[in-house]
């Protein structure tokens, strides 16, 4: 399905406060999360400054075929503000860690956004009519002089310019001692969970003053702490199942029907360590940075530092498939540890048909792996290579000193400050959203717009 040569046309939308290509950006503009909604019509991004920007896809229009499918800014709002925990003398960052959309149930859209401590439910609604003809107020809103009113009228709804209103509907606060890393909406559309380093809480969407702790891996003696929770997600279809990953590379599938506190897993997915490859960094690079259920619910996709793995829920002993994302970094782990890049948390994504997986890498590269054909491609998200409607050229990273083709990049010239941590794939079409620092790229496969 993925033809690496032709690959993708790019309908690029870049989000940047500075239009010039080489202008510096503020740290607040760094995109920290990207998420399509369930229909793919809306795309939300959160940034380090606590803002959420929602893009909407322009509907297909016969008269302007080329503008079909472009994403334009729909709404922008400040979701979280920086806070200060006076008790611990700690700053609470306003950075949006995750955004998750709720399935649409009426005309309004709902999304959950979270920073390190607080989750908020936002309602995004449109207003395109307003009432006119009040009895007591005139058109500008001033109170009428009662003596001038001679008759009663019924206000009428008149069309107006479209306005997108965003309002916070719920604030779920004070439930997490540690930093929230994941939120996941349950398939029952009534509950959701939030996971921090040591605990996972279950919330009801309507109840903000209480949450239910379902996983707690905090040891009695904090000195014994060696493992933390890194990501968590509900099963897409079974509302009782969820999975969480750990910093030691394990995945635990838990069934909420078994016990109130799901400390005991139903399934433990762990790949035995290869003793010959053991190093001081083995544990760090095995730490799972992201876990995603497949749309079918049958598979799990995990990302650790060097690989992406597909697991079958029915097989706990080892992953079904392992994809090397950037194995050329394996010999550079010490340097990457020194500059802290080894702690980077890359996300991963399935396509709508679960046949292709995608994840980011360094140098603004991102990789896609076709599970069926076993082909993979490396692409770059950069302004230079992403002119509108240009076809992305596959890139290649060659080992230092190895045979180098034209346009190849040597490992040593990779830019480790340009990392693609957040990517998202449209739920039904071949459209992907790539967050490269402060820029958002949206690529579309016009040749194969339907998923195979």
Partner 1 sequence: MLGNGVKRKLDDDEDVLEEERRPPSGGVVFQTSSTRQTLLNMSLMKLYGPRPADLRLQRRVLINNVIQRIHRDFRQEGGGVGALFFSSSSTVSEDESFHQPPSSSSSSSSFSILSSSMSGLLTDSCLTPASLLEEDLPMFFTLPPSSSSSSSSSSQHLLLSPRMPPSPSPSPKDSFSSALEEIEELCPSSSSSSSSSSSESPSPPPAQVLFDVIMKEEEAESKPPPLPPSLPPLPPLLPPPHPPSQSHSFLTDFTLDDVLFTDIDTSMYDLGPSGAPPSKMAPMVTADDLVRSMSGFGATGGQNQPFKMDLAELDHIMEVLVGS
Residue 379 near residue 395, CB atoms below 8 Å:
yes
Q: Smallest gap, in angstroms, from Cβ of residue 300 to partner 1? A: 20
Please give the DSSP secondary-structure letter assigned to residue 50: S
Q: Smallest gap, in angstroms, from Cβ of residue 451 to partner 1? A: 34
Q: Which is nearer to partner 1, 24 or 221 (CB)?
A: 221
Using the rule CB under 8 A, is 167 a contact of partner 1? no
Q: Smallest gap, in angstroms, from Cβ of residue 166 to partner 1? A: 29
Burial of 445 (0-12, 13-18, 19+ CB in 10 A): buried
Categorise residue 374: left if φ over 0, alpha if ψ from -120 to 50, beta otherwise: left
Residue among 30, 119, 198, 432 that touches partner 1 (CB under 8 A) = 198
Of residues 347, 351, 371, the one with CA closest to residue 359: 347
Residues with Cβ within 8 Å of residue 207, at least 6 apart in sequence? none
Using the rule CB under 8 A, is 90 a contact of partner 1? yes
Residues with Cβ within 8 Å of residue 168, at least 6 apart in sequence? 120, 121, 122, 123
Q: Across-strand partners of 400? A: none
Q: Which is nearer to partner 1, 195 or 392 (CB)?
A: 195
Both tokens assigned to 377 = 């491609």
Residues with Cβ within 8 Å of residue 270, at least 6 apart in sequence? 249, 250, 251, 316
Binding mask 360-399 for partner 1 (x = CB under 8 A): ----------------------------------------
Residue among 24, 89, 106, 147 that touches partner 1 (CB under 8 A) = 89
Query: What are the angstrom distances between the C-alpha of 133 and each of 136, 161, 163?
Result: 9, 18, 20
Q: Smallest gap, in angstroms, from Cβ of residue 142 to partner 1? A: 53
Residues with Cβ within 8 Å of residue 320, at least 6 apart in sequence? 299, 309, 310, 311, 312
Q: Which is nearer to partner 1, 244 or 299 (CB)?
A: 244
Q: Which is nearer to partner 1, 26 or 226 (CB)?
A: 226
Residue among 67, 174, 177, 373 that touches partner 1 (CB under 8 A) = 177
Spatial separation of the C-alpha atoms in residues 324 and 174, rounded to whole Å: 39
Q: Smallest gap, in angstroms, from Cβ of residue 340 to partner 1? A: 8
How many other CB atoms are there within 10 angstroms of residue 128's CB atom?
A: 11
Binding mask 244-283 for partner 1 (x = CB under 8 A): ---x---------------------------xxxxxxx-x
Q: Smallest gap, in angstroms, from Cβ of residue 224 to partner 1? A: 7
Q: Which is nearer to partner 1, 241 or 284 (CB)?
A: 284
Q: Smallest gap, in angstroms, from Cβ of residue 32 to partner 1? A: 14
Categorise residue 286: left if φ over 0, alpha if ψ from -120 to 50, beta otherwise: alpha
Spatial separation of the C-alpha atoms in residues 191 and 232, rounded to whole Å: 14
Query: Which of 49-57, 82-90, 232-240, 429-437 is the region at the interface with partner 1 (rule: CB under 8 A)?
Result: 82-90
Q: Which is nearer to partner 1, 185 or 291 (CB)?
A: 291
Residue 268: its H or E element: strand 267-269
Residue among 175, 253, 284, 325 that touches partner 1 (CB under 8 A) = 284
Binding mask 323-352 for partner 1 (x = CB under 8 A): --------xxxxx-xx-x--x---------
DSSP3 helix / strand / coil % (the chain, rounded to 5): 10, 40, 50
Q: Smallest gap, in angstroms, from Cβ of residue 218 to partner 1? A: 9
Q: Which is nearer to partner 1, 162 or 334 (CB)?
A: 334
Q: Smallest gap, in angstroms, from Cβ of residue 216 to partner 1? A: 13
Q: Smallest gap, in angstroms, from Cβ of residue 247 to partner 1? A: 6
Residue among 88, 142, 374, 403 that touches partner 1 (CB under 8 A) = 88
Q: Which is nearer to partner 1, 190 or 335 (CB)?
A: 335
Please give the DSSP secondary-structure letter assigned to residue 107: S
Spatial separation of the C-alpha atoms in residues 286 and 272, rounded to whole Å: 11
Using the rule CB under 8 A, is 416 a contact of partner 1? no
Give the interface size with partner 1 as a residue count (CB under 8 A). 39
Residue among 77, 164, 169, 178 that touches partner 1 (CB under 8 A) = 178
Burial of 127 (0-12, 13-18, 19+ CB in 10 A): exposed
Distance of CA 202 to the CA centre of its chain: 20
Q: Which residues bind partner 1 (CB under 8 A)?
A: 87-90, 177-179, 181, 197-198, 221-228, 230, 247, 275-281, 283-284, 287, 331-335, 337-338, 340, 343
């Amino acid at each position: 399905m993925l033809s690496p040569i032709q690959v993708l046309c790019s309908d690029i939308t870049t989000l940047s406060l500075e239009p010039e290509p080489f202008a510096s950006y503020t740290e607040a503009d760094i995109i920290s999360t990207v998420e399509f909604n369930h229909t793919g019509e809306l795309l939300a991004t959160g940034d380090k400054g606590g803002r959420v920007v929602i893009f909407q896809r322009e509907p297909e229009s016969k008269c302007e075929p080329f503008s079909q499918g472009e994403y334009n800014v729909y709404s922008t709002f400040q979701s979280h503000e920086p806070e200060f925990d006076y008790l611990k003398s700690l700053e609470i960052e306003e950075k949006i860690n995750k955004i998750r959309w709720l399935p649409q149930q009426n005309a309004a859209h709902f999304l959950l956004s979270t920073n390190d401590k607080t989750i908020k439910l936002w309602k995004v609604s449109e207003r395109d009519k307003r009432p006119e003809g009040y009895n007591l107020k005139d058109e500008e809103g001033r109170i009428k002089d009662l003596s001038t009113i001679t008759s009663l009228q019924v206000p009428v709804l008149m069309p107006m310019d479209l306005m997108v209103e965003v309002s916070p509907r719920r604030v779920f606060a004070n439930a997490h001692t540690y930093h929230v890393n994941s939120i996941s909406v349950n398939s029952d559309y009534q509950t959701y969970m939030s996971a921090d380093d040591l605990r996972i809480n279950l919330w009801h969407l309507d109840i903000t003053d209480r949450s239910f702790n379902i996983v707690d891996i905090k040891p009695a003696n904090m000195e014994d702490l060696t493992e933390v929770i890194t990501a968590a997600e509900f099963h897409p279809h079974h509302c009782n199942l969820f999975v969480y990953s750990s910093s030691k590379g394990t995945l635990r599938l838990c069934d909420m029907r078994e016990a109130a506190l799901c400390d005991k897993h139903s399934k433990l997915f762990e790949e035995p360590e290869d003793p010959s490859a053991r190093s001081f960094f083995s544990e760090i690079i095995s730490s799972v940075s992201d876990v995603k259920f497949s749309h079918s619910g049958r598979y799990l996709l995990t990302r650790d530092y060097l690989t992406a793995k597909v697991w079958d829920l029915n097989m706990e002993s080892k992953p079904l498939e392992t994809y090397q994302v950037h194995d050329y970094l394996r010999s550079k782990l010490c340097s990457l540890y020194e500059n802290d890049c080894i702690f980077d948390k890359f996300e991963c994504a399935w396509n709508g048909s679960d046949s292709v997986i995608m994840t980011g890498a360094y140098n603004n590269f991102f990789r896609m792996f076709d599970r069926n054909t076993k082909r993979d491609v490396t692409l770059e998200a950069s302004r230079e290579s992403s002119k509108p409607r240009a076809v992305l050229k596959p890139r290649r990273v060659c080992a230092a000193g190895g045979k180098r083709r034209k346009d190849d990049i040597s490992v040593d010239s990779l830019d480790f400050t340009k990392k693609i941590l957040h990517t998202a794939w449209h739920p039904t079409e071949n459209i992907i959203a790539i967050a490269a620092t402060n820029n958002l790229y949206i690529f579309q496969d016009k040749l194969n717009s339907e998923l195979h």
